[in-house]
């Protein structure tokens, strides 16, 4: 996602694995901003202040695990 100004980014991933991870990176994969892992409900929520620039969202299932419990949904909100 490309943010034109600073603001709060909210990411919701629902109906995903209880052993997965949702990660937010700034500019490159070396700059991890936020990571949330292993939510028993399979629902993940990140809300974090963010500077302008390019961000990457990564939804990760462990190696050898099916890619999820069916279709999951990813929603991003930014002012």
Beta bridge partners of 7: 50
Please name the residues in contact with 25: beta carbons below 8 A apart, sequence gap of 6 or more. Answer: 31, 32, 33, 55, 56, 57, 58
Predicted structure pTM score = 0.87
Q: pLDDT per residue over 11-47, tens digit each?
A: 999 999 888 999 999 999 899 999 999 999 999 999 9
- The number of residues making up the chain comes to 79
Is residue 70 predicted with pLDDT exceeding 70? no
Interatomic CA distance for residues 52 and 78, integer angstroms: 11
DSSP code for 18: T
């Amino acid at each position: 996602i490309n943010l034109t100004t600073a603001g709060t980014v909210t990411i919701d991933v629902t109906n995903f694995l209880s052993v997965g991870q949702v990660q937010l990176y700034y500019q490159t994969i070396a700059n991890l901003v936020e990571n949330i892992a292993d939510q028993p409900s399979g629902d993940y929520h990140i809300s974090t202040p963010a500077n302008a620039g390019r961000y990457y969202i990564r939804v990760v299932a462990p190696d050898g695990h099916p890619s999820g419990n069916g279709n999951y949904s990813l929603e991003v909100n930014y002012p």
